[in-house]
Structure 1
């Protein structure tokens, strides 16, 4: 369903057709706390040079429990309880929160009246839907999607109204019902995502010179959006829009300056990285640093579209560019040609940066890790030994982050949030093939860098640095690509380990990058 808000045409937006597309994604916290900066400064600053698409998450606040998405989930749960009226109050709280925000930031009485009417209409529909859920005492995954979609609708209405109030011609675009083709829930492969990017681009292209303000929630997705995609759906929507439009860039606006050589809250000398490769960003995300979901990033990078991480609290900062480093410089499916990674990259502030480096890029820590050891009760490992281990873990939904093996022994670092009961069941089954024990309160320390494969002795330097600091290694793992060297240590030593590694191997990374400007 496509809904349109028509505003008075802005002279500055008259001929947008020749400008390159730019997709800006704003998270819930950014919209909840910095919507004035987004609509008054950030979006408008790019309009002279780009056709801007704004993608919004549902509004959040200081507390995640008070965020719109979590409130909607609680309302859905309440509606399933016979006789409960809690969901009615939750909807009213959501209504008042958004209307008060609109009144605070929109000064034109006509625009404000229309936005208030739209917000009330959305909340009334939500309330009626929840009452129906309570009556039939059933809520399907698709019904939950319908409830959840309201958060993005409300958020986008406010952002569109505020932009219009500031003289920007806007168009509210809902992606809730744009998927018309039928797909098998078990076959959501790349063809499905290519289809979505084409559909999204088609809808947005119809906006003409208006700035599309787009819901991050889209559908209907086979199996439901929450089940099939998860809570990172807004990032994915922005990525698919960028691919479909062959955008110049995808900007992901957060409350941090970008990606650092280490967590700046834990390492005081951590420095901002101006540029990073997709492989490095994926590794950092997986091993503890919140960058952007690897699958979402994959959709953009495969189309050779740069991703820029920017800070809503510091819009003029350079941010961090995740740059598609197509080493061969060949054309991509979109026809875009990308230079090899050794060439210079133009940064937003007009400077250029050399992509070739000869040092690690960042160090990260993943806490709350468990180590599972399985020692075979035979003299050698049979061909079914590994299959039985991983089959058992998969049955109980236990993810493995790292693995280290010998002839008769397997050690595995398990991801955070391991379910204790599931682990107990898995261990009982695994004892049929050997001795099993588990160690808690561990952490994974990962050193990441695309060019580390060209650094002779980097592993030795890393481990000797930890040894000098008195930090014992429980496990060591290094991938064939040598982009990531990881080890498992005691969680209580994680902060110390991160700092000594950063001091020894990364303290000059940011300075070296700065010296490459010319």
Structure 2
């Protein structure tokens, strides 16, 4: 596996393309990476992989300094404003996006012919976006499909710039707009649909020949609309399905962090980089507060034996974190799981020593307690509670129940608009109280279920720090133990648990030091 070398010099105007006999690597770049590290991506990272790999690039829409200033957020805002009578904000947004992308193009593209073609392309697409919004303004309607088209313009503009910059650096690239890639009718999104997408994406990439494809993360006319059915993780999913279709060696997700850590390094000074982690562990960490990669996206590549590597655009030479199934628990498929993924990076294959693996905190939680006021509890007590929550679209993160009492941890931000109404209805079944400013602490580890005393150690560590626990929950998979603590104690709880319970594998120290170098 080749990593980037900052000392190497790339000479522009030299044709560097994909070679048919080389293995595929699919690289996905997020909005912040494309927004802040465009020159590093085109000058350093991509060229360093082309010598020994065939590379596919998938890009998100450009992001600004904050998510609110990102292209996708502004496009969604434009779609809303187009339906407001008398508003011209949507037209202002299109003008701003046009100027922003033009400025970036002029900042990075040196070849005037390439720049002129890019400017014409950007201007044409932004004019089309403006006309689309004006049409929506007239008919006073934006369908889910129309909203998809509006949002998809962000990836179109971003990928056009990336493809042009690669050409400017001497890399023969090709911009691919996947907006109309789906050429069959599907009723719903099932595995058959995703298998079709993987095959279709592979065909589109292969048709590029020796050119480096730059694919829009936004793809096709998805049944039910892309935003509604898949959500904002569609760019990761596009990259994953491309990797599946091409039988790629690896899928790279480029971020602004070195990989996945034993805890959030911004909150825990002694947090260590994990060289390898299982998909099950990542899924738990993602659900309980860590922004990693959507579990469904992981499933698509992991099920066919393709590892995912989280990499840092600010430290391209770092090994990152590899997401791959636990080899020690997958004896039947060991022959198909390439041990070289670990060996080539000096990692230990015995991941069972990492028990537990990581700890995370999910803030902005509220606890909803319902206690039955009936002497003879109805068998419908729990059913009535969950029916009420379902009617108001309230999702429960954690739950602890008895015959007469239910305690639930909820995402306060997501239930803010419906919680008061739900509380009034729940009061029909018992006394209700709400505790705000809480946090969920989750200890995650694939091998915790085979280690005695982990839960006891967790609660002892918190008790010794005088941190009280409101709810305790252990997942059925036994790879996650979670509890709810007061939000004011969340940071201390995170550090205490990390300090006392997480076992550091020597290989992690080794790779952390090498990354720092």
Alignment TM-score, normalising by the size of structure 2: 0.92
Q: Which residue of 1 aligns with 2:309?
A: 308
CA contact (8 A) 1:329 1:338 kept: no
Q: Give the superposition deviation at 1:285.
A: 0.6
Q: Give the superposition deviation at 1:421.
A: 4.1
Q: Which residue of 2 aligns with 1:417?
A: 413
Q: Say which of 25, 34, 42 aligns to 2:45.
A: 42
Q: What are the ranges of 5 or more consecutive residues in structure 1 without an aligned counterpart?
A: 1-7
CA contact (8 A) 2:272 2:508 kept: no
Mean alpha-carbon deviation: is it higher for 461-470 or for 385-394?
385-394
Q: Give the superposition deviation at 1:40.
A: 0.6
Q: Give the superposition deviation at 1:417.
A: 1.3
Counting only pairs closer than 5 Å after superposition, residues 392-431 of structure 1 correspond to structure 2 as 392-431=388-427
Distance, in Å, in 2 between the alignment partners of 1:210 and 1:220 is 26
Mean alpha-carbon deviation: is it higher for 94-103 or for 33-42?
94-103
Distance, in Å, in 2 between the alignment partners of 1:347 and 1:206 is 34
Q: Which residue of 1 aligns with 2:85?
A: 82
Change (3 A) 1:83 1:403: closer
Is 1:476 aligned with 2:497? no
Matched position secondary structure for 1:151: helix
Distance, in Å, in 1 between the alignment partners of 2:24 and 2:316 is 19
CA contact (8 A) 2:15 2:172 kept: no
Counting only pairs closer than 5 Å after superposition, residues 51-130 of structure 1 correspond to structure 2 as 51-130=54-133
Q: Say which of 419, 424, 443 aligns to 1:447.
A: 443
Q: What are the ranges of 5 or more consecutive residues in structure 2 without an aligned counterpart?
A: 1-11, 513-517
Q: Give the superposition deviation at 1:266.
A: 0.8
Q: Give the superposition deviation at 1:90.
A: 1.7
Q: Which residue of 1 aligns with 2:197?
A: 196
Q: Which residue of 2 aligns with 1:5?
A: none
Runs of 4+ deviating beyond 6 Å: none
Q: Which residue of 2 aligns with 1:496?
A: 492
Matched position secondary structure for 2:235: helix
Change (3 A) 1:418 1:132: closer
Distance, in Å, in 2 between the alignment partners of 1:280 and 1:206 is 37
Aligned length: 500
Distance, in Å, in 2 between the alignment partners of 1:162 and 1:156 is 10
Matched position secondary structure for 2:182: coil
Q: Which residue of 2 aligns with 1:511?
A: 506
Q: Deviations over 1:120-165 (max 9, x none)?
A: 1111111111121122222111111111111101100100011111
Q: Which residue of 1 aligns with 2:454?
A: 458
Distance, in Å, in 2 between the alignment partners of 1:344 and 1:450 is 22
Mean alpha-carbon deviation: is it higher for 76-85 or for 205-214?
76-85
Q: Which residue of 2 aligns with 1:142?
A: 145
Q: Give the superposition deviation at 1:64.
A: 2.2
Distance, in Å, in 2 between the alignment partners of 1:357 and 1:97 is 49
Q: Give the superposition deviation at 1:434.
A: 2.1
CA contact (8 A) 1:22 1:248 kept: yes
Q: Deviations over 1:23-50 (max 9, x none)?
A: 1000111101000000111111111111
Q: Give the superposition deviation at 1:512.
A: 5.4
Distance, in Å, in 2 between the alignment partners of 1:292 and 1:516 is 22
Q: Give the superposition deviation at 1:296.
A: 1.5
Q: Which residue of 2 aligns with 1:3?
A: none
**What is the CA RMSD across the aligned residues, in angstroms?**
2.2
Distance, in Å, in 1 between the alignment partners of 2:20 and 2:286 is 36
CA contact (8 A) 2:15 2:171 kept: no
Distance, in Å, in 1 between the alignment partners of 2:378 and 2:202 is 52
Counting only pairs closer than 5 Å after superposition, residues 223-234 of structure 1 correspond to structure 2 as 223-234=224-235
Q: Say which of 439, 464, 467 aligns to 2:463.
A: 467
Distance, in Å, in 2 between the alignment partners of 1:417 and 1:153 is 31
CA contact (8 A) 1:354 1:516 kept: no
Distance, in Å, in 2 between the alignment partners of 1:167 and 1:380 is 78
Alignment TM-score, normalising by the size of structure 1: 0.92
Q: Give the superposition deviation at 1:382.
A: 4.1
Distance, in Å, in 2 between the alignment partners of 1:29 and 1:345 is 28
Q: Give the superposition deviation at 1:12.
A: 4.2
Matched position secondary structure for 2:142: coil
Matched position secondary structure for 1:310: strand
Distance, in Å, in 2 between the alignment partners of 1:433 and 1:45 is 64
Q: Which residue of 1 aligns with 2:185?
A: 182
Q: Give the superposition deviation at 1:180.
A: 2.0
Q: Which residue of 2 aligns with 1:13?
A: 17
CA contact (8 A) 2:272 2:509 kept: no
Q: Give the superposition deviation at 1:427.
A: 1.8
Change (3 A) 1:434 1:252: same
Change (3 A) 1:179 1:426: same
Matched position secondary structure for 1:131: helix
CA contact (8 A) 1:380 1:407 kept: no
